Chains A and B, each alone.
Chain A
Amino acid sequence: MDHTALELIELGAVFFTLGLLGRLAGRIGLSPIPLYLLGGLFFGTGGVIPLSGIEGFTTLAGEVGVVLLLLLLGLEYSATELVTGLKRSWTAGLLDIVLNAAPGVAVALLLGWGPVGALVMGGVTYISSSGIIAKVLSDLGRLGNRETPVVLSILVFEDLVMAVYLPILTAVLIGVSLVGGLTAVGVSVAVLAVVLLVALRYGRFVSALVDSPDREVFLLKVLGLALLVAGFASAMQVSAAVGAFLLGIAISGSTAENATKLLEPLRDLFAAVFFVVFGLNTDPATIPPVLAWAIVLALSTTLTKLGTGWWAARRAGIGPLGQARAGAALVARGEFSIVIAGLAVGNAAVDEQLAALATTYVLLMAVIGPVAARMVEPTARWVRSKRPSAAPAPSAGN
């Protein structure tokens, strides 16, 4: 068979399988991310059907997937929302970092992966999946709940942390000195501040640069600018993903809304490829040795996210059931944990088992998260009915 024909068939088979997996995920009410990862494990190195010849395309497409994931994350929030979110939730946000990065850091150190491994695993266990969480909140009809703004502002804070964390991680991974690392921190914080300021004051100019009434022109301009910014950011060792995220923040108003609508299908496609590539590069044989650790991490970080949400909701004056719901809503980890692990995989300073641990962890958390969000309310009500004296029922009159 001709080379191109084989590649087309392989690529077609991968996409079609992903489509079937996505449909299955929709049926059972799960995020498709864990199934995409499983799909990658199935096709890839040491998997059931190893594929060959399409790596060139899939690797680049996976990178584009990361750029689009972060670009759409930036488009999702306006600069105003980010600034108010930062003001409102910074205490809860700091608690979130401490509680949820700690288990990842501890496990990485226990496994002897050193400070770089600890930095990566801390990020993997810290960052919640805003994609999964937004979908779960909407599916469960909780957008009108009073604890929902608390949950959303923690997510906003986490995304801002990502904008600082990713450049640091990139700098550390290329092996810079302490001074170099601190410079990366300084530069990324300064760039973030400038972008927020520009977006708040002059966002319409950036929007005007990409806006066009013609869908095709608009799509090409937005995508082109995103890849340009990501590429230059990457060349300056800042992290391509962060460049795209900052561009997303700078584009605002109706331009951002239109861009989101146009880019969503592309993001879904390329992000799916990214998850598959991550799975492809993970040898399923490396999973069993880290399975126990993944379970330990999953359990401990479920508890720490519950604690974070509970504390934040309590401070916002939400009742006991709402506190439990806020905690459980935050549990899901997904796309961004894989983005972080994806940056680190293949780096000499990072242990080979890290990819396997991150994959297994996200597989668990992307399933536990939505289930926890669904189960929390019946469970909390049951617990309260068992101990009626311990926690008085909230009065109907507020």
Chain B
Amino acid sequence: MKAVNVEVTPLPGIGVRKDFALRNGRRIGVVTHRDGKIELIISKSDDPDACLAEIPLTTEEAGALANLLGAPQLVAQLTEEHRDLPGIHTRQIPVGTPFDGRTLGDTALRTRTGVSVVAVMRAGQVHPSPTPDFTLTAGDLMVTVGTSEGLDNAVKILKRG
């Protein structure tokens, strides 16, 4: 894996810009305002100095985006590890509003579906091996391992409660 060199540039009076150059020369990153507001920035293809878009994100939205970007990598790794075990699958499942503020134990996933929760992704952070008293938040992504059928049931439970 090639290391990514993130450039940190102070913006006096506004905040900080953190970005890096992609392989194709475009820049991608975030502008973090003093008051915590985050904007996603992507440079234009024909003018690397300018931005194609500045997309304001709330903390929750930034966290959700970080999950989307970070989870597939984790799932791919786990899938690779379970390759020799036929019938076992890894999947990322979003936590729905019914379990917002409730614990992992409340979902009773293991008892109801046989599915194991390997990790919870929140705001791009991996919380590995969560215990039953781990408190969930809507928008979390659960990285789960189980049979296809069990995983399908788990999706339904986490969505509807």
Contacts and interface: CB of A to CB of B under 8 A. Distances in A.
Contact of A134 (B14, B19, B24, B29): B14
A211 interface: no
Contacts of B48: 146, 319, 394, 396, 398
B21 interface: yes
Q: Tell which of A130, A144, A318, A397 has the most Cβ of chain B within 10 Å.
A: A144
A78 B49 CA distance: 26
A189 B51 CA distance: 39
A255 to B, nearest CB: 13
A377 B39 CA distance: 22
A157 B12 CA distance: 11
A81 B24 CA distance: 32
B13 A146 contact: no
Nearest to B52: A141
Interface in A116-154: 130, 134, 138, 141-149, 152-153
Contacts of A321: 47, 49-50
Nearest to B33: A143
* Most chain A CB within a 10 A radius of its CB, from B9, B11, B46, B53: B11
A155 B46 CA distance: 28
A145 B50 contact: yes
Contact of A143 (B14, B21, B26, B35): B14
B148 interface: no
Contacts of A134: 13-14
A149 B9 contact: yes
B24 A396 contact: yes
B49 A143 contact: no
Contacts of B100: none
Interface in B8-37: 9-14, 17, 19, 21, 24-27, 29, 31, 34-35
B10 A84 contact: yes
A152 to B, nearest CB: 5
A138 B17 CA distance: 13
A156 interface: yes
Given A144-B41, A397-B25, A398-B21, A322 B47 contact: yes
B31 to A, nearest CB: 5
A143 B46 contact: no
A2 to B, nearest CB: 45
A76 B35 CA distance: 12
B51 A141 contact: yes
A143 B13 contact: no
B13 A257 contact: no
Nearest to B49: A322
Contacts of B47: 319, 321-322, 394
Interface residues of A, number: 36
Chain B contact patch, size range: 20 to 34
B54 interface: yes
Contact of B17 (A143, A257, A261): A143
Contacts of B51: 141-142, 144-145
A342 interface: no
Contacts of B54: 141-144
Nearest to A81: B12
Given A84-B10, A149-B9, A322-B47, A144 B25 contact: no
Contacts of B135: none
B57 to A, nearest CB: 13
A85 interface: yes
Contacts of B50: 142, 145-146, 321-322, 325, 377
A189 B76 CA distance: 61
B46 A85 contact: no
Contacts of A77: 12-13
A111 interface: no
A130 B19 contact: no
A250 B146 CA distance: 58
Contacts of A141: 51, 53-54
A8 interface: no
A155 B21 contact: no
B118 to A, nearest CB: 36
B156 to A, nearest CB: 41
A298 B74 CA distance: 59
B125 interface: no
B25 A398 contact: yes
Nearest to A322: B49
Contacts of B26: 396
A76 B49 contact: no
A262 to B, nearest CB: 13
Contacts of B34: 257
A296 interface: no
Contacts of A148: 11, 17
Nearest to B40: A144
Given A143-B39, A152-B12, 8 more contacts: A81-B12, A134-B13, A134-B14, A141-B53, A144-B17, A147-B49, A148-B17, A396-B46
* A-B complex: 7 closest residue pairs judged by Cβ atoms: A144-B41, A322-B49, A397-B25, A141-B54, A146-B49, A81-B12, A144-B51
5 contacts: A143-B17, A144-B51, A146-B48, A152-B11, A396-B25
